[in-house]
Amino acid sequence: MPYFDAASAAPLHPVARQALLAALDEGWADPARLYKEGRRARLLLDAARQAAAEAVGCRADELVFTSSGTRAVHTGVAGALAGRRRVGRHLIVSAVEHSSVLHSAEVHEAGGGTVGRVAVDRHGAVSAASYAAALGPDTALACLQSANHEVGTEQPVAEVAEVCRAAGVPLLVDAAQSLGWGPVGGDWSLLTASAHKWGGPSGTGLLVVRKGVRFAPREPADERESGRAAGFENLPAIVAAAASLRAVRAEAAAEAVRLRELTERIRARVPQLVPDVEVVGDPVHRLPGIVTFSCLYVDGESLLHELDREGFSVSSGSSCTSSTLTPSHVLRAMGVLSEGNVRVSLPAGTAAEDVERFLSVLPGVVAGVREKLGAAAQAPGPGPGQRETPGARAAEGARAGEGARAGELVLDTLGRRCPIPVIELAKVIGDVPVGGTVRVLSDDGAARLDIPAWCEMRGQEYVGEEPADEGSAYVVRRVS
């Protein structure tokens, strides 16, 4: 069964498995003890730290191992902010950071600090100029991911690090998605990563704090890992993490070329095979193995289930696949279509035959989901003899009254979740004259993204959002 969700967790690398099993036999003792077994464990820990530091491009005494990448982020953000509390309490993050960074920002804000959130462009990238504009005299820390976990867009870390350094502000880089492909360039100050992203064991992260960076651990004092990661080291996992990082780095150059060709194939052919698709993320500056696209008129959860039935494990940022019923914060910040969102993230060793089979299966799966939702491939309005949907009949009735204006049709989709509001909009847009408007009433947060995206994809004009008695009214003018 092809596993296409390596951005969530990469399969365990064979070298990691070998190192883990060997360390279970050799590295079980306390590395802080001076007897033979402890000295052996200490040698393993020191060797793992040195190997990881070489891969990162830092000194061994700047790197500590943590219980996860999330723990590394929380510790790094809190410690850097505490170390610079005399400077101020302003934190800067990008709008598309991993949830671990955003949750740290929320805690900081709840404690009285301030947070500046830097916007991204439609590809999901920040600009160094935006970070420069956000910096202030009270800025204690800035955070920026090296590459986005949902759409694969690489960030201009070196340029942002330069403007932060000029302002005397440390930059924390979340390198979870990119570290397996190569070191992070630029003059950054702190860095975090997670082993399960590069084929190491889960439950192992790393935190790097450069020499000279003011840092004050916020947890109770502990003698281990320079006082920055409390608790007994999971030595077998640490050894396996370092060994697998070295192994994937040795394979990275060749594998990156191969995976880029496969993801380029997906990026190019999906829009050719499936109508009404938006491929998102930067087309050039992106990680080798990630490609993300969104399909109009598709329920993301149903799409993932159907692909799973066909043997493909993929991920999604659609609101339909979450308990919050809101699109992922990444897609929302980018302002791109969220419904029917699919993230394909290929692990090392993915066969070209598996990608071809995915491309052969996808059109039928999307068409099947659309059919179940009552949406044709391009969802035209009902023509002569075609059956109208309840939403279309409600809109037709609203045209004559209920606050409708001349040349306007009101479409009530309150209580109906994505992608139904957009499907119903597509079916009734032909019922108004050119220049007329459709006012879509919706209480689904995804409509704020998906209706403007639909307009852009279908050549209609998105007028804007207006308040309504319940939910919001999204106004669309028919252009063609």
CA distance 360 to 236: 42
Whether 478 contacts 433, CB under 8 Å:
yes
Cα distance between the two ends of the chain: 44
* Residue whose entry in the numeric block shows the structure tokens 């193995």: 289
Residues 6 or more apart whose CB falls under 8 angstroms from that of 315 comprise: 5, 7, 8, 304, 342, 343, 345
> Side chain identity at 326, as an amino acid letter?
T
Give 144's strand partners.
173
Give 342's strand partners.
293
Tell me if residue 320 is catalytic.
yes
Q: Which of 164, 320, 418, 455 is catalytic?
A: 320
Beta sheet of 171-174, edge-to-edge order: 63-66, 205-209, 190-194, 171-174, 139-145, 90-94, 114-118
Active-site annotation, residues: 320
